[in-house]
């Protein structure tokens, strides 16, 4: 392929299903990273602490995979592990049959397009700051990764099932595993492709991380940090999971985005109200945690409840009730636009959302079975 490159590679069209390109781009995330940030030890993650017994016996021994739908979806991790074993081996067969473009922008849109072709909902890129590399993995081994660039692969958990769910019922963990396994499946194909072009690439997914993903999603412009401390995308809400490919391929970095979420989250507080264990703050202002500006959040309460939830398998109640959890469509696109451009209306939208019952489980559409207790 010679210059001029096709329009799709020069940025003339949106690459994926959502108009990410139309969001306002900014030089710094809307939640400040003030630093200094200490590298995180994966052993201190909630699930690893629970596995050591820090949250009690029930949290230590209960697996999301005991619920059959969840266990079935999670069974595909076996195959992903096999992809990983092959992929993490030394660079295999590198066979560049075409001269790659020197322009990193062209190359970046090419690689992103492969992610979209494979079914990703949002694909972003960013540099990898050293503070996003875990200091130690869950087994206690020191972690190093010298790849400068990240490709973030985002997959929707699916609106139809979220519509039928309360967010903290039996399907919750299956929704997570579905999006985790699918994003990893896509990431392995993208990483294999990058290696075939002669560059190093490694997949970071829910069973095998070297990198802390949320700050990478923030830097890559996937979304802004919401009140509950995780990244919110304006088209998917909080209803997604991600995998990341780290690489030494020269890529153009995306910028963080600003679609007005900070004003919205300050007023809304719906996730804080609805959280079954009050793990999310009602504060009007953020504080600073390990160098990140964010609302206070109790990871312990959240993790403990997810592992012990007596009426469900895990929990994603904040994801469900978030007013940004909406189907694709023009009325909701209009509301998204107005939130971005007329923040004075934000309180009105939250109340309208309550009236329409978007926070309720639409049980007419529940396709899964509850265990008999």
CB of 2 to a second copy, least distance (A): 9
- Count of helix runs (H) and strand runs (E) in the chain: 15, 8
330 sits near a second copy (criterion: CB under 8 A): no
343 sits near a second copy (criterion: CB under 8 A): no
Stretch that binds a second copy, among 40-48, 182-190, 205-213, 252-260 (CB under 8 A): 182-190
Tokens of 200: 């190093």
Nearer to a second copy, 109 or 306 (CB): 109
Nearer to a second copy, 148 or 158 (CB): 158
Stretch that binds a second copy, among 24-32, 109-117, 212-220, 253-261 (CB under 8 A): 109-117
363 sits near a second copy (criterion: CB under 8 A): yes
Stretch that binds a second copy, among 53-61, 188-196, 232-240, 251-259 (CB under 8 A): 188-196
CB of 119 to a second copy, least distance (A): 7
Nearer to a second copy, 80 or 217 (CB): 80
Inter-residue contact 177 to 73 (CB < 8 Å): yes
Inter-residue contact 320 to 359 (CB < 8 Å): yes
CB of 316 to a second copy, least distance (A): 15
Inter-residue contact 60 to 164 (CB < 8 Å): no
- The span from the CA of 52 to the CA of 227, in Å, is 29
Nearer to a second copy, 71 or 104 (CB): 71
Nearer to a second copy, 93 or 285 (CB): 93
Cα 21 to its chain centre, rounded Å, is: 18
- The span from the CA of 231 to the CA of 326, in Å, is 16
Long-range contacts of 228-231 (CB under 8 A, 24+ apart): 228/271, 228/272, 228/275, 228/280, 228/295, 228/297, 228/318, 229/280, 229/294, 229/295, 229/297
CB of 313 to a second copy, least distance (A): 11
φ, ψ at 211 (rounded to 5°)? -120, 145
Rg (CA), the chain: 20
Inter-residue contact 204 to 188 (CB < 8 Å): no
- The span from the CA of 316 to the CA of 324, in Å, is 14
Hey, which residues between 61 and 100 contact a second copy (CB under 8 A)?
66-69, 71-73, 75-76, 78-83, 86-87, 93, 95-100
Tokens of 181: 């396994």
Nearer to a second copy, 69 or 261 (CB): 69
11 sits near a second copy (criterion: CB under 8 A): no
CB of 262 to a second copy, least distance (A): 33
Which helix (DSSP H) or strand (DSSP E) does residue 123 occupy?
strand 122-127
291 sits near a second copy (criterion: CB under 8 A): no
Largest pairwise CA distance in the chain: 65
227 sits near a second copy (criterion: CB under 8 A): no
Q: Judged by CB under 8 A, which of 185, 240, 292, 358 binds a second copy? A: 185
Which helix (DSSP H) or strand (DSSP E) does residue 231 occupy?
strand 231-232
Nearer to a second copy, 73 or 230 (CB): 73
Inter-residue contact 257 to 336 (CB < 8 Å): no
Stretch that binds a second copy, among 122-130, 181-189, 222-230, 318-326 (CB under 8 A): 181-189
Contact positions vs a second copy (CB under 8 A):
1, 6-9, 12-13, 15, 66-69, 71-73, 75-76, 78-83, 86-87, 93, 95-100, 109-110, 113-114, 116-119, 158, 160-161, 164, 174, 178, 181-182, 185, 188-190, 192-193, 196-197, 363-372
């Amino acid at each position: 392929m010679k210059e001029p490159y096709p329009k799709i590679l020069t940025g003339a069209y949106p690459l994926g299903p959502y108009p990410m390109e139309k969001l306002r781009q900014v030089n710094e995330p809307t939640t400040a990273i003030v630093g200094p940030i200490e590298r995180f030890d994966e052993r201190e993650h909630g699930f690893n602490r629970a596995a050591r017994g820090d949250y009690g016996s029930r949290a230590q021994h209960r697996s999301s995979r005991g619920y059959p739908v969840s266990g079935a979806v999670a069974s595909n991790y076996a195959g992903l592990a096999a992809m990983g074993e092959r992929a993490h081996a030394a660079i295999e067969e590198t066979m560049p049959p075409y001269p790659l473009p020197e322009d990193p922008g062209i190359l970046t849109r090419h690689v992103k397009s492969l992610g979209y072709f494979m079914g990703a909902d949002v694909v972003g890129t960013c540099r990898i700051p050293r503070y996003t590399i875990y200091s130690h993995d869950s087994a206690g081994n020191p972690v190093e990764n010298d790849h400068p660039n990240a490709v973030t692969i985002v997959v929707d958990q699916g609106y139809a099932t979220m519509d039928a769910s309360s967010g903290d019922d039996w399907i919750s963990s299956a929704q997570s595993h579905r999006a985790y396994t699918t994003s990893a499946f896509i990431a392995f194909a993208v990483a294999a492709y990058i290696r075939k072009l002669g560059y190093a690439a490694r997949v970071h997914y829910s069973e095998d991380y070297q990198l802390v993903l949320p700050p990478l999603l923030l830097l890559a412009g996937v979304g802004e940090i919401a009140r509950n401390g995780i990244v919110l995308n304006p088209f998917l809400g909080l209803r997604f999971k991600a995998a990341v490919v780290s690489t030494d391929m020269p890529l153009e970095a995306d910028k963080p985005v600003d679609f007005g979420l900070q004003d919205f989250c300050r007023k809304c507080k719906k996730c804080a109200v609805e959280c079954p264990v009050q793990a999310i703050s009602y504060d009007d202002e953020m504080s600073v945690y390990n160098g990140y500006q964010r609302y206070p959040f109790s990871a312990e309460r959240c993790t403990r409840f997810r592992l012990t939830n007596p009426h469900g398998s895990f929990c994603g109640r904040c994801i469900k009730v978030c007013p940004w959890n909406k189907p694709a469509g023009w009325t909701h696109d209009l509301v998204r636009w107005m939130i971005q451009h007329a923040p004075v209306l934000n309180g009105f939208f939250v109340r309208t959302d309550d009236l329409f019952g978007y926070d309720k489980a639409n049980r007419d559409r529940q396709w899964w079975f509850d265990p008999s207790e």
